Amino acid sequence: MMGWLKRGRKKTADGADAPIVVEGARKSGGGRTSNRIVMTMSVFFAVYAVMAGRLVYYGTHQPEDNGPPAGRPTAARPDIVDRNGEVLATDIKTASLYAEPRRIVDIDEAIDKLATVLPDIDYEQVYNRLNSKAGFVWLRRQLTPKQEADILQLGIPGIGFRSEKRRFYPAGSTVAHVVGLVNVDNKGIAGMEKWVDDQGLAVLQQTGLATANDLKPVKLSIDLRVQHIIHDEITQAMERYRAIAAGAVVLNAKTGEILGMASVPDFDPNNPFNANEKDRLNRMSGGVYEMGSTFKTFTTAMALDSGRVKITDKFDASHPLHYGRFTIHDYHAKGRALSVPEIFIYSSNIGTAKEAEKISIPEHKEFLTKLGLLTKMPLELPEVATPLSPAKWTPLNQMTIAFGHGVATTPLQTAVAGVAVMNGGIYIPPTLLPRTEEQAEAVEHRVLRAQTSAEMRYLMRLNVEKGSGRQAAVPGFLVGGKTGTADKVVNGRYAHDKNFDAFLAAFPIDDPQYIVLVIIDEPKPYGGWPATAGANCAPTAGAIIRRIAPMLDVEPEFGHDTQALLVSYR
């Protein structure tokens, strides 16, 4: 090092060493270093300037609609099948039409050609899409194979097809309210389709793990044969009685399974353009109504189960019951004292109100709560309404609730409570999934004494033999039931010209296997009969029982003189 310094030094005139060479070398090296620093800083400034510019651009501009990634298929869904394996919902392959606007040569010509295959095409909307700077725009999702073939033959440059999955419902509207439907991206938005998503399918789809081969079918408790009969009978009833709606449900009295449930008007999930219209509501689980005299079933059961009323007791129903400025009348007034069975088959409001007076208001509320009539019912369907009841019950509230006015519940809740009254006193939560009797035992609980249930079955049968339910009688089958005809509440007042009718039935009533509930909303008089439940809901329930009993292996029982009829049922 010292030698290098010595070689770089130069003698001055006075012989002293001068650092010329060393100084010159130092100046030269410092200049190159400065240049490198300037260049490096310039590069960094340029890079950061570009990055900042891009950030500003993305922060102030909307991203272009480039559609889903090219290789991303529509998420798969599992099949939904009935209890016998019949397919209720499945995926099918379909094609969706897209365009690349930058490749469209003549927008007007392209739209004119597309309109020959898709006559309902929105010209302005499609023009705006094709005139955009987007690299990808959807034009129509889920085309039919014929539409795809016809558009291909048009030879329009800049458009193409992407393979997708579409949900197909073989049963159409028959089971629409139960199965539900999906949106255009195959996501469940109603019914059991939404329930399936909520069980983890949505997460699998988001992570890309939902593949068609790995998804096992989802089996429901629904029996498609029963469902078809229910749907057919209530559709006929709505038309026959010129009603605004009708519905029915069939429950297994031993397991709580829903074998069939329908509400009309409904919709076709394959073309659900009107599914959101108000009158398409699933009235069986999504609507709440005052159920009228069907509630006398629960009042009578409550009174008998308390031990304070015996089936042999009588109550004075000779005069209307006055409470403050309100008066309670009987629709079929007898003008005398009535026994408990007479109160039931004559559907006496006065007698039923007096039965309820034997029970305290807290006990009354507790009893209806045990039957699940005052709280939201647990069910797989998302479309379940919450019952309405007074915040504070007065003695007048208790009397009117006793005969079905003042509390609004869903028809399905009424049917489920009816199961408990007639199956020996056991409450079983309803389900749309298969359930064995052993599995039902794990979720059920007793709400009535077995003796009370037996007495109620006697009253229900008596009502079909001699009371308001006579038109529900089915030769060969022991049917029991209770009618309910309620004035509808319109704008906060009872409308005497608009009824909500219901009939709660069980068969065979000596050992109920199935519960049937039929409702008809705003029926009109028919065939000389008034628009009451005994004239419309009872015969509709009878028609359903007549058709479903043989296929559910409920054996008809005829006397020795009716063996020929027995053969005809087999």
**Residues annotated as catalytic (active site), given as ranges:** 293
**Residue 28, CA distances (Å) to 7, 21, 25, 259, 368 in order:** 18, 11, 5, 96, 101
Token pair of 64 as six digits? 């272009």
CA 501 from centroid of its chain's CA atoms: 23
**196 CB-near residues (< 8 Å, 6+ apart):** 77, 78, 80, 188, 218
Q: How far apart are CA 223 and CA 259, in angstroms?
A: 5
DSSP designation for 477: B
60's enclosing H/E stretch is: helix 20-60
Token pair of 231 as six digits? 């749907």
DSSP designation for 172: G
Residue pair 556/549 in contact (Cβ under 8 Å)? The answer is: yes
Backbone angles phi and psi of 350, in degrees to 5: -65, -50
Whole-angstrom Cα Rg for the chain? 38
**394 CB-near residues (< 8 Å, 6+ apart):** none
Q: Where are the alpha helices (DSSP H) in 432-554?
A: 437-441, 450-466, 533-551
Residue pair 512/506 in contact (Cβ under 8 Å)? The answer is: yes
Tell me which residue of 214, 197, 219 sits closest to 435, measured CA to CA. Answer: 219
Q: Measured on CA atoms in the order 22, 28, 30, 36, is the torsion positive or negative?
A: negative
DSSP designation for 317: -
